Amino acid sequence: MSQAEVDFVIPDLAADIPVCIDPFLLYKSRDETLRGLHELLLGVFRHGFNLFEAGDRKELDRLIDFPEVNAIGFGYTRSGIHGSGLGWHLNQLVVDLLESSDEVRARGLRHVEELQLLSVGVGPDRVSDIAASVLKTSLIAYTQQQAQLWRIPLTAGVPVSHYLDPRDMEWRDGYFDLPVNPVSGRALLLVPRRIVRLLPWINYADFYANEARLLLPPQPRLPRYPGMTAAKRLEVAKAELVLKARQRPAIFEQYVSRKERDGSNAEALLPGHDEEAQLRATADDLRARLESLPPGLGSAVEYQRLAYEILNFLFEPELTGGELEVKTYLGTERRDLIYWNEAEHSFWRYVRETYGSPLVMFECKNVADLELDHINQTAAYLGARLGMLGFVVTRSEAKDSIKRKIYSIYNDSPALPRKVILVLSDADLVTMIDLRASGLSPRSHAQGLYRALRSRVQ
Amino acid sequence: MAPRSVGKHRELTSAAAGIYDEIEKLNRKWPTVPVTPRMVARTNKLLGEIRDLLKDDEDGFIDGLEDIVPAGDQPETRDVVLILREAKDALDRFGNKYQREWRPFRQEELGY
């Protein structure tokens, strides 16, 4: 299993990975579940602010409590997997913030990351801790799902402390079936890569480099002494900037609004996930498995699984959160593979905007020759929920009769956008695998197939 | 060849020359810059009309005059220039082929 094939961040069992859960990626997601989690995150602080207003300091201390979630193994500490976390310390920081700024109290928080700009003691690692603590229940469910998918052994009754029960905003401890980190002997939680970045999109260094300069006096802007490092200057400046941001929220507001406007540039990113040697090794493995897998019903499940791994390799993070065997609402039908389309540019964004759905469907047919029924079935799945464009992943290029059927489905669609079915054969998959292994985008090949179809049906 | 084709050919030749000249000017300085959606729309309208005019003709390059489908990425200027050049040349070939047949209609128009 390599990072390029899976939907989660593969943890380093012995040391923290220098990345963070970025709540902004929840905020801007097309997946309503993720947006709901962002609301939950803000809801915790909204509740905390209300408790402050009500003078209930004891409840506030209990609620604003985010110890580091070692189980996810994220952090910026140099070694090991135990950073400081926030714990009770954040209570004091939040109380200090609320006591010192009427403006912030009145405005509330639009993003948890704003705390980095309003409090000296909060950095990107702490934002990640806050998010991980609040999302822990979701991460547990996600870990169990991925463990089943990738056959990662689960241990029964692994203790998990301090997870949020959103029904009553209570922190609880419990036991869950989870993988165990063999190094630490503790629970291991997997995090979807679609919510992970190297630094939060809204962060102090960025604020300092742009809007914050308006808050600082003319030269010299920052205290300095010979040999002072840039990091140290930033640190010293933060105390001054935080104070000014609290007093003049317009500048701070301007920064947050700009980041929201530019949110399309905020993409999930992992360090070194495009390393050439790793990409080539994964590509070779996927290509070999595809070539050796025979068509036929006997290996249909294996083929579907392989298609899932290949599509992850090709299109993550633009198409992300892929799910196998997704049932419809009433359970009457199953779609083989469904991805969330989180693309911000080019072909996949066009698909989402033109075909009216944040989801992309791939039907897998492990047959030597596609039949008309396969195309009819796929066409029947296309509609309001899944959008009007879908893919059939199969073993060989479509025959002329199949192509004609696809054209007629397009032409017979009663309204715009018309139904589009694109066929991805083994040859297409191999071409795209090669593109990805060479560091190029396989998206252009899928785009070429789409263009060819649209030109033919003119 | 009907007189209608004579007029249509003249109209399309003029339109193709205009669009080609404008995009070609851009191409000299910024060949790899994507063209605007409006340029694509005007080019596609022109290509559609040329296809319609030439549909019964036996020109081997007509199948290259398909609509541009940006699909999320606008084409580069140099590619659009190439397509327009092909379209212009197809119109020229068509005009040359029927020049003799069209001469009476043209003379009639000019009052000879």
Domain locations along chain B = 3-110
Note whether residue A219 is domain-resident.
Answer: yes
Q: What residue numbers bound the domain in which A336 lies? A: 276-456
**Inter-chain touch B72–A458, beta carbons under 8 Å:** no
Alpha helices (H) along A337-399: 346-355, 372-381
Together in a domain, A119 and A33: yes
Q: Contact B72/A454, CB-based, under 8 Å?
A: no
* Residue A7, domain member (yes or no): no
Q: What is the ipTM of this complex?
A: 0.82
CATH of the domain at A314: 3.40.91
| CB pair distance less than 8 Å for A348 and B72 | yes
pTM: 0.85
A270 is a domain residue = no
Instruction: Tell the burial category of A264 from Cβ atoms under 10 Å away from its Cβ (0-12, 13-18, 19+).
Output: exposed
CA distance A346 to chain B (A): 4
| A154 and A202 in a common domain | yes
B71 with A350: Cβ contact below 8 A: yes
How much is the pLDDT for A220?
57
For chain A, which residues lie within 8 Å of any Cβ of chain B, measuring from their own Cβ? 345-351, 447, 450-451, 454-455, 458
CA distance A389 to chain B (A): 13
User: B72 vs A451: CB contact, 8 Å cut-off?
Assistant: no
Question: A343 to chain B: nearest residue by CA?
Answer: B72
Residues A253 and A351 in one domain: no
The verdict on A204 and A303 lying in the same domain is: no
- Please give the pLDDT value at position A349: 95
Output the pLDDT for position A360.
95
Give the pLDDT means over successive 10-residue stretches in chain A (458 positions): 87 89 95 95 92 89 87 76 55 79 84 90 88 95 94 94 90 95 92 93 89 70 71 75 81 90 87 76 94 92 94 92 73 77 93 93 93 92 90 94 94 88 96 93 95 88
pLDDT of residue A385: 85
Last residue within a domain, chosen from A216, A245, A265 = A265
Q: Which runs of E-coded beta strand occur in A104-256?
A: 155-165, 170-178, 196-197
Residues A168 and A311 in one domain: no
Residue B78 has what pLDDT?
96
Q: In total, how many domains does chain A have?
A: 2
Instruction: Give residue B1's pLDDT band: very low, low, confident or very high (50, 70, 90).
Output: low
- Cβ(A425)–Cβ(A398) below 8 Å: yes
The predicted pLDDT at position A454 comes to 92
Are A342 and A233 contained in the same domain? no
Q: Any idea what DSSP says for residue B68?
A: P
The 10 Å Cβ neighbour count of residue B38 is 8
First to last CA, chain A: 43
Select from A345, A347, A458 the Cβ nearest to the Cβ of B71.
Answer: A347
Q: Rounded CA gap, A293 and A218, in Å?
A: 68
pLDDT of residue B64 exceeding 90, the answer is no
For residue A43, the one-letter residue type is G
Residue A213 CA to residue A222 CA, distance in Å, equals 10
In terms of domains, do A365 and A231 share one?
Answer: no
Residue A328 pLDDT: 58
Residues A248 and A333 in one domain: no
Last residue of a domain, one of A220, A244, A265: A265
In chain A, what residues touch B67 (CB-CB under 8 Å)? 454-455, 458
Please report the pLDDT score of residue A297 as a whole number. Answer: 87
Query: Are A43 and A102 in a shared domain?
Result: yes
* A13 occurs within a structural domain: no
* pLDDT, position A81: 46
Q: Which H or E run includes A243?
A: helix A230-247
Q: Whose CA is closest to A119, among A14, A29, A243, A226? A: A243
Residue A4 lies in a domain: no
* Better pLDDT: B75 or A278: B75
- Per-residue pLDDT at B105 exceeds 80: no
